[in-house]
Chain A
């Protein structure tokens, strides 16, 4: 039963191509992408910078339309942004004119959820991201890591089908990053979320993802996929020992070789 559940395809990308700009000045950003995101998986996208990772995420989010090919969610064409697909941006786009509480409640409020329910949702997710007691603060009173946690809570509050994250930890220092990775893993586990996370950090991808997609340099194509399970092992053992295993290094080296081959050429 659970196995069958995991097979459900949430996002289906077929033969996707994206060209920026007009004919004379055009940039082929994505070429011939086929990708599926299944319910419950944690998909990490790796690739050299400028290869079109953000572009891919923006298409799934509905911010831009594919030039050719299809992008479907649960069998329906994606025509624009939608609260079923929550987005966490690299630099948090929290609204500075709202308190933390209002930021987290923004989604449910926009959707007309009853007041009482909104309160419960907010309390639940403020706790989940360890920010209880910060409700009445403003975004500029928080550190970078806290802001990103608020951004995460704001997205979670809508109970989206898929969470899309574009290098959400890219601007954080190493220690905060490490803690945030654990938090994201725990949230993914606890909520049975489906996550697509873009990163340029191979270790981050390996320690979080259940599947890793490596993209080529521009125009971005999918070079190779890796199915990994380190994130579940880390979660079950409560330690990151698995990151020192033979197996881990093997996969990591293979991915690094793949990415380096794209940069050097």
Chain B
């Protein structure tokens, strides 16, 4: 026991000896690592594109099954110009994103207060937690059929489905954030004369923001995949529907275009969220 502790102490001291220098080294190391990581990512995609090109060039599979990169590109330009099924691409994307963002908005507005409250009060947690824990592991498409029966095939059922998908990660992040708050923040605020309400808004909420943001990013990811699956089961428009419709007519080039669009927009959304995160919780990591 004792020797263990001693070892820890010694390590700690060595680490602390030259904090500036080691910090510099770390950041330099990190830059180097970032560079190699970026190169690896780019290389991976070059290889994927290359293999794709070669496979289609050699016509190893029929072109209806595996369209060539060039065909996909022209299909993309075609859809960009004329839309799909007479509906412009931006409308497909627009309907999808409208569903996504309405659901997310509701989820953010409800999950944050409920989550923070659950973190505060064990009684509230006992009520909400059990419901969330029950539906969270269910495959969304299982209860989606019920939602369609109740709310019809239109937007409402989809928005509710996405709302449920997005609610859980945000709620869970809030509960965990409250439980992780540094108690000294709250004690010092009390010692400085803050009342309960001010402590909530000035201390608890901001202290939880970094984790809330992580929760929202997870929620966007989950909701986005759910959205696409939902549109593939029942819809008349949207980017997911486009892919489903194309598959009915064996238009593999459109399927690939749809998948690529989904992938890129997903990355873009996360990029935007990360940008917001950097601006709003710029102090993340300094808690």
Contact = CB atoms under 8 A, between A and B. Distances in A.
A86 B206 contact: no
B232 interface: no
A20 interface: no
Contacts of A83: 191-193
A111 B191 CA distance: 11
A80 B193 CA distance: 11
* Nearest 5 A/B pairs, CB to CB: A83-B193, A81-B190, A96-B283, A107-B192, A140-B286
Interface string B188-213: 11111111001000110011010000
A116 B51 CA distance: 70
Given A95-B203, A97-B209, A86 B283 contact: no
A53 interface: no
Interface of A: 61-63, 80-83, 85-87, 89, 91, 93, 95-97, 106-107, 110-111, 138-140, 154-155, 158
Interface of B: 182, 184-185, 187-195, 198, 202-203, 206-207, 209, 281, 283, 286-287
B192 A158 contact: yes
B184 A93 contact: yes
Contacts of B185: 93, 95
Contact of B192 (A97, A106, A140): A106
B61 to A, nearest CB: 55
24 contacts: A61-B187, A81-B187, A81-B190, A83-B191, A86-B192, A91-B184, A93-B182, A93-B185, A95-B203, A95-B206, A96-B283, A96-B287, A97-B207, A97-B281, A106-B192, A106-B194, A107-B193, A110-B189, A110-B192, A110-B194, A138-B283, A139-B283, A154-B192, A155-B192
Nearest to B199: A110
A118 B146 CA distance: 59
Given A95-B203, A107-B193, A87 B188 contact: yes
Contacts of B191: 61-62, 81-83, 85-87
B187 A87 contact: yes
